[in-house]
Amino acid sequence: MDLKNKIIWITGASSGIGKALAIECARQGATLMLTARREDALEATRIACERSDEHRCLVHDVTDQESHAIVMSKILEAWGHLDMIVLNAGIGQRGSIEETSLDVERRIMEVNYFGCTEVAHAVLPHFLDRNRGQIVVVSSIMGKLSTPRRATYAASKHALHGFFEGLRAELYQTRIGVTLLCTGYIKTDISIHSLRGSGQSYGSMDDQHRDAMPGDVYARKAVRAMMRRKPVAYIGGPERFAPYLERLSPAFVRWLVPKVVTRD
């Protein structure tokens, strides 16, 4: 699928993977609605995109259920239709189960799970009316397995797979696609903004992300998968093979993961 002249809404577009995806989608010819909570950072993303004057920014919090319809109305007002939604907004975790409060667990689920499914509910009627569209979910390798100090984060991504695999099955006889991007370690600030068990930000970049795949490289691979309408794409370094290894030898992976994952 060619992205030229396609209208794409990207959540969490102010930084990291969202910003990289916005720049790459614009390079491929798409017109963008960029949303996130920080207006200044959104504007910086828009300006970094090719044909910056064609794109729109709107402050939006994925945990504010009533705001999703407002964004859709702005999209329809500006362009008349939406071709693709990229559900990227999310938050990371750096804390053991024992030290993580229930409030933090709920916050992670609200952002990472409900922040995707509720936006999907907002755009789905439009896609069904047109019998076309694509839902892209920025998930994680940890949507397939889990590691120490990331349990709630992994749970939120596992839940996304359950929901959107089910949605794909329900849309089988339509022209609406669902793409799950299973993302590995990417060089972004996600670890800096990740939540500790207390709810405070982790505040530093961990080694896995410091030495990881650059965001622009990830974006090119991800957008290629989106254009091919792949059901699932694994993107990252060697960690992207972990789900395949887990299928072959789950006992070995259970033994290995606690030994190789950094206990920050």
| Active-site residue set | 153
State the Cα–Cα distance between residues 185 and 208, nearest whole angstrom.
Answer: 6
State the Cα–Cα distance between residues 213 and 146, nearest whole angstrom.
Answer: 20
Identify the sign of the CA torsion 172, 174, 175, 178.
negative
Tell me the β-bridge partners of 234: 182
Identify the sign of the CA torsion 34, 27, 88, 38.
negative
State the Cα–Cα distance between residues 44 and 239, nearest whole angstrom.
Answer: 31
77: which 2 tokens? 């007002």
Cβ neighbours of residue 88 closer than 8 Å, sequence gap 6 or more:
10, 11, 12, 13, 17, 18, 21, 138
Residue with tokens 């060697």: 238
- Supply φ then ψ for residue 57, to 5 degrees: -120, 145
Cβ neighbours of residue 120 closer than 8 Å, sequence gap 6 or more:
85, 87, 135, 164, 167
Pairing of strands 186-187, 176-183: unpaired
Would you mind telling me the total number of residues written for the chain in this entry? 264
| Longest pairwise C-alpha distance within the chain | 54
